[in-house]
Each structure stands twice: as C-alpha cells, then as structure tokens.
Amino acid sequence: MDKPFAITLDPGSSLANRTGSWRTFRPEYLDRLPPCNAACPAGENIQGWLFHAESGDYEKAWQSLVENNPLPAIMGRVCYHPCEGGCNRQHVDSAVGINSVERFLGDEARKQGWKFAPPAASTGKRVLVVGSGPAGLSAAYHLTRLGHQAVIYEAAPLAGGMMRFGIPKYRLPREVLDAEIKRLTDFGVELHLQTKVADVLQAMKDGFDAVFLGVGAHIAKRAYIPAGDANKVLDAVAVLRGMEGHDAPMLGRKVVVYGGGNTAIDVARTARRLGAEEAIIVYRRTRDKMPAHDFEVEEALQEGISIKWLSTIKEAGESDIMVEKMALDDKGFPQPTGEFERIEADSVVLALGQDADLSLLENVPGLVVEGGLIQVDAGMMTGHPGVFAGGDMAGSERTVTVAVGHGKKAARAIDAWLRGEVYAPPPKPEIATIERMNSWYYSDAPKTMRPVLDIIRRQSTFEEVLGGLDESNALFEARRCMSCGNCFECDNCYGVCPDNAVIKLGPGKRFRFNYDYCKGCGICAAECPCGAIRMVAEEN
C-alpha cells in the first residue's frame, strides 16, 4: 500500500514508544506466605498441595504434602487444624476444609498405594530416634529423606505413641495409623519395638551419630483426692492405654471424669461407648476457659455426656463423690464457695495432664529442664550437643501436629549438625493477609461438611465418627482455596494491564513484567486476587 505521509501509519508501531520510562512504581511478583501455611505447626505448604488437588492431580498433591508431613491420613483425622483458623477464606464465607482434603489425600494414598519419593543418597550416618510417637516418626522420616539411617527405639509393643495409646479409635481407626507407620518402615525407617532406652548416651554407643528424643509425656498428673478404698480412682492415660489391650477397662455404670482437656473428653466418650449410662465431666472453670476444643465438647454433649462446670472434686466415696461449687474471681480464677453436692459415681478418672518421663536423660550433661519440659534451641537441640528433642517432652503445645513439626525441624537441624553446620531456616516471606488480597474474584462457595456417624452408633461403637469427603467434594473443597499470596495463574494481571505489559509464560510458568512498557499504574497488583504482586518505588 502506498501510504499517504503521516496520516496513515503502520500497525502496532507504537512499540517504539517505551512507556516504561513513565513509571515511578514498579510491580513485582512475589510469593507471600499463606496464613494457613504460617499457622500449620508441621510447616505444611498447604496452598502448594491444594494447588495440585485443585486440578485433580491428587497424587502430586499428596507428594507435595508429604514433603513436610508423612502422616496425612492421620493428620486429616486428629489434627486440630489451626491452619483453618488462619485461612483467609473465613473472611469471604468460611475457611477452606483443609483438613478434610488432607484426609481425602491420605486415604487416597492408602487406597492407591502411593509411595514416598525415593530418599537422597545415603550419607552413611545413623541417627537414633527414641520413641515412635509423631515426633519420632516425623524425625525418622525426614532424616531418611535426607539420606541418613534413622533407627527408632520404642519401649511399647506397638508404634504410634499417644496416637495409639491415647487417641481413641473412633477418631483414629488403627488401620489408618498402621498403614502410615508401615509406609515409613517401607521407606527405610528402622523400628525396634519393646526397646526401652534407659540411658540415652549409652544407647548412642550402638553406632549412632546423633539422637532425637521423642518420648512424649506419659506420667499422669495426680490431684489429691481423699478416697475410700472401694472407690476406683483411675488416670486417663492408663484407661485409654487399656483400650489397646485385650480387656477393656471396667469403669462401671456411672463414670466421673475430672479435667477439662481433650483427654477428659476422650475418656468420657470412651466410657459412653464402653456402656456407661452416665459420663460426667467435672471441670473447675467455665466452658470458654476449657482447653478442650469447642467441637469436641459439642460432640461429647451430642453423645449424652454431661459437664459440671465450676466444680472440683473434694472427696471420692464408695459410690459417689463430693463436688464443691466454684466461682470465678475477678482475675478469672476459680475460688471455692463452700457449697457442696454429692454425685453418684462408680469410678473417677483423672484427666489432669501428663508429665514427661525424663529418666533416660539423667546422666546427660548440659541439659536444661524447666517446668518439666526439656529446653531446646531453634534447631531442637538440647543443651547437649548431638542430642535433639521434640514433641510433648519439649513443648507446651502438645499436639500430634506440633510433634510432627518438631520432628521435621529437628531432622533438618541434625542433618546440618552432622555436616558440622548450623541449620538456618529460609527467611519467611511476609504473610498474605486478607488486606493484601482482592477477594472480589472468589465466588461464594460455603464449606463442605463431612458426613457424621449417626448418634446411636456413636454411643455404642468405636466406629469412626467423622467421615471423609468423596472425590467431587474434595475437589470442590480444594478449589475453595484462594491461593493466598501465591500466583495461581488466574491471568488477572495479564488481562487487566492497560498497557499489555504482562507477559504470559505458559502453563505452570507464571508471568513476567515487560518493564519496557509497564507504566506502573498498579492495577495488576490491585486486581491480583491472591496478593502475589507488590508495587515497589523506582529508584530514581
């Protein structure tokens, strides 16, 4: 075409005009820390594994999950999911059912027989792990991944620690526990049962380069209650441990449980299932002060368990107990009122917490113990070089998840220590708070509820109470994830830039800014649903 001068121009020639020079702020992609990940004591990359689940690639999702936590089927049942408490979706409708998807993945892995990715090349180092509770299992797993030989010494005849001897079956079916433990031993973790470690430094002489202690806290705390001989005063840990034996504990028709933690609830619910007509929890404070989780209290109440708030047990008689009413003082502490009441009881179970048995550490120099807890540094190392510890014995927050997290952290620190280094965790990026996101883009999608076992069977059997999600539910739930702080390739930035200054790199490759043309308007950052773009002032 013989174009007239100046008034007719060649297509797209404006590329010669580099509008990037207008910019005073530049957009940058970044990964912010999703609040769920930040809240997960096991340090799971939740958003990361949900990303794969969203596209239906459950195996990849599971593989991504087990990079941090080897026990998804267990976690999906017993974890108190603090992640969901942090989940930003609660500001939109309700938190993502992370835990239920985790369970779905864990169960799917069992069904499909998925295996862990092969470990790193052997380092020739051997690490002793004392205890096969979640802390020990996690440490052993991560050590194995890193190429070390992990050897567990477990005093009990079965592995699992409190997951087996504490948490009741109706919450954690034993085949689930067994399967996940078996996967670990298949992976190369050496497990020696009925091998109690009495002296840890002695045990290390079996050719170990380091040791991780995860012995838990198994010694029941007692409270002094004057009691007639005939009356049965038992402790919760013993009762629950008894559930794993051949003969179920004899608790009688009317059972009183003393305490306000999860253990108290579990014992009461176990008692109901064992046939107790009445199971009463006696707790000295009010419901909102109770350490047990709300949902557990709720489930217990549904199962017919009653709770006596603001009450302490003064004495235990032959077939009853005496309870004193309490009143909260202005600081919120319960104070005796002098008002008494008698309650019928065939047995009293004390669920007042546990202390750790630290006898195996008696002649280890350098250890510091405070409030019954062994003190560790940021890498879970005790005051004695090469001796690491985690789980209930080392932390005041006693959950399976914390224990798993401790095990992982310790394994990484041990790995560094074995190489003569100090483990430096990667710096944590800033948290993707809801204010950094643009929640407009997420359509309403309320949380999917897991099926619950019907109430009659909950009162009489040890069948699992809470069901799992099926595939379509799980997919739905996974897709509720807002991918906080991490690009999920929604193409918004690519689409909303008035200057076409975002380059799409293709599936899985994310995007790049074209700073030749980006004018720095900030629309991309404002419209990124998940807050994966920030605006940074230009130097000049």
Partner 1 sequence: MLKQTEGSRAVAEAVAMCRPEVICAYPISPQTHIVEALGEMVKDGTLSPCEFINVESEFAAMSVAIGSAAAGARSYTATASQGLLFMAEAVYNASGLGLPIVMTVANRAIGAPINIWNDHSDALSQRDSGWLQLFAETNQEALDLHIQAFRLAEELSLPVMVCMDGFILTHAYERVDMPTQAQVDAYLPKYVPRQVLDPGEPVSIGAMVGPEAFMEVRYLAHAKQMEALELIPSYAAEFKSVFGRDSGGLTHTYRTEDAETIIVAMGSVLGTIKDVIDEMREEGHKIGVLGITLFRPFPLARVRESLQGAKRVVVLEKSMAVGLGGILSTNVRMALSGLHMHGYTVIAGLGGRAITKKSLHGLFRQAGQDALEPLTFLDLDWNMVNKQLEREKAHRRSGPVAENLLRDVGVVAARNY
Partner 2 sequence: MSFQPVKFYQTGTFTVGNRLLPPEERSVQASAKRFNSINSGHRACQGCGEALGARYAIDAAMEATDGQVIAANATGCLEVFSTPYPETSWQIPWIHSLFGNTAAVATGIAAALKVKGLSQNPKTRVVAQGGDGGTTDIGFGCLSGMFERNDDVLYICYDNGGYMNTGVQRSSATPPAARTATTMAVGPEPGNVFGQGKFVPAIAMAHNIPYVATATVADLRDLEAKVRRAMEFRGARYIHILVPCPLGWGTPSQDTIKMARLAKETGIFPVFEAEHGEIKSVLAIRRPLPVEDYLRPQKRYAHLFGKTPALATIAHIQELADRNIRKYGLQARKEGH
By the criterion CB under 8 A, which residues form the site for partner 2?
Answer: 6-7, 9-19, 22, 54-55, 440-445, 476, 478-483, 488-492, 494-501, 504, 506-507, 514, 516-517, 519-523, 525-527, 529, 535
> How many chain residues are in contact with partner 1, going by CB under 8 A?
11
Task: Name which of ligand SF4, ligand FAD, partner 1, none residue 176 binds, using a CB cut-off of 5 to 8 Å depending on partner kind.
Answer: none
Q: What are the start-end ranges of the E strands in 381-477?
A: 387-389
375 contact partners, CB below 8 Å, separation of at least 6: 367, 368, 369, 382, 383, 394
Task: Work out whether 491 is an interface residue with ligand SF4 (CB under 6 A).
Answer: yes
- Residue 16 binds partner 1, judged by CB under 8 A: no
Query: By the 8 A CB rule, do 295 and 305 touch?
Result: no
CA torsion sign for 373, 378, 381, 385 is negative
Smallest separation, CB 17 to partner 1 (Å): 13
Ranges of H-type helices in 156-245: 162-165, 174-187, 200-204, 236-242
Site residues for ligand FAD, window 458-487 (CB under 6 A)?
none
Does 331 help bind partner 1 (rule: CB under 8 A)? no
Judged by CB under 6 A, does residue 488 bind ligand SF4? yes
Residue closer to partner 2 (CB basis): 6 or 121: 6
8 binds partner 1, rule: CB under 8 A: yes
Decide whether 4 or 507 has the Cβ nearer to partner 1: 4
Radius of gyration of the chain, Cα coordinates, nearest whole angstrom: 28
State the residue for tokens 């020639």: 13
Closer CB to ligand FAD, 42 or 50, in the complex: 42
Report yes or no: 503 and 475 within 8 Å, Cβ to Cβ. no
Residue number with CB closer to ligand SF4 (416 or 490) = 490
Rounded CA-CA distance 295/298 in Å is 5
Do 315 and 226 meet the contact criterion of CB atoms below 8 Å apart? Answer: yes
Q: Tell me which stretch binds ligand SF4 (CB under 6 A): 63-71, 210-218, 374-382, 512-520.
A: 512-520
Q: For ligand FAD, which is the closer residue by CB, 156 or 469?
A: 156
Count of residues of this chain found to bind ligand SF4 when the rule CB under 6 A is applied: 27
1 binds, among partner 2, partner 1, ligand FAD, none (CB under 5 to 8 A by kind): partner 1
Tokens 């309403």 found at: 444
Helix axes 294-302, 262-273, angle to 10 degrees: 20
Q: Is 370 in the site for partner 1 (CB under 8 A)?
A: no
Residue 13 interacting partner from partner 2, ligand SF4, ligand FAD, none (CB closer than 5 to 8 Å by kind): partner 2
**By CB under 6 A, which span of 49-57, 187-195, 409-417, 529-537 interacts with ligand SF4?**
529-537
Q: How far is the CB of 402 from ligand FAD (least distance, A)?
A: 7
To ligand FAD, the closest distance from the beta carbon of 447 in angstroms equals: 20
State residue 525 phi and psi, 5-degree precision: -65, -40
Six token digits for residue 69? 């936590």
Give residues with Cβ within 8 angstroms of 360, minimum separation 6: 130, 197, 198, 199, 200, 213, 215
Q: Which residues lie across from 336 on neighbouring strands?
A: 326
Binding of residue 131 to ligand FAD (CB under 6 A)? yes
Cβ neighbours of residue 406 under 8 Å, at least 6 residues apart?
A: 135, 138, 139, 214, 380, 390, 391, 394, 395
Q: How many residues bind ligand FAD (CB under 6 A)?
A: 37
H helical segments located in 286-399 = 294-302
Q: Is 522 one of the binding residues for ligand SF4 (CB under 6 A)?
A: yes
Kindly provide the b/e burial profile for residues 298-334, where b requires at least 16 CB atoms within 10 angstroms of the residue's own CB.
ebbeebbbebbbbbbbebbbeebbbbbbbeeeeeeeb
- Determine if 481 is a binding residue for ligand SF4 (CB under 6 A): no
Residue 287: enclosing H or E segment and its boundaries?
none
Residue with Cβ nearer ligand FAD (32 or 218) = 218
The minimum distance between CB 157 and partner 2, in angstroms, equals: 46
- Residues in contact with ligand SF4 by the rule CB under 6 A: 27, 29, 487-493, 497, 499, 501-502, 511, 513, 518-524, 528-530, 532-533
Site of interaction with ligand FAD (CB under 6 A): 78-80, 130-136, 153-156, 161-163, 166-167, 196-197, 214-216, 240, 262-263, 266, 357, 360, 391-392, 398-401, 403
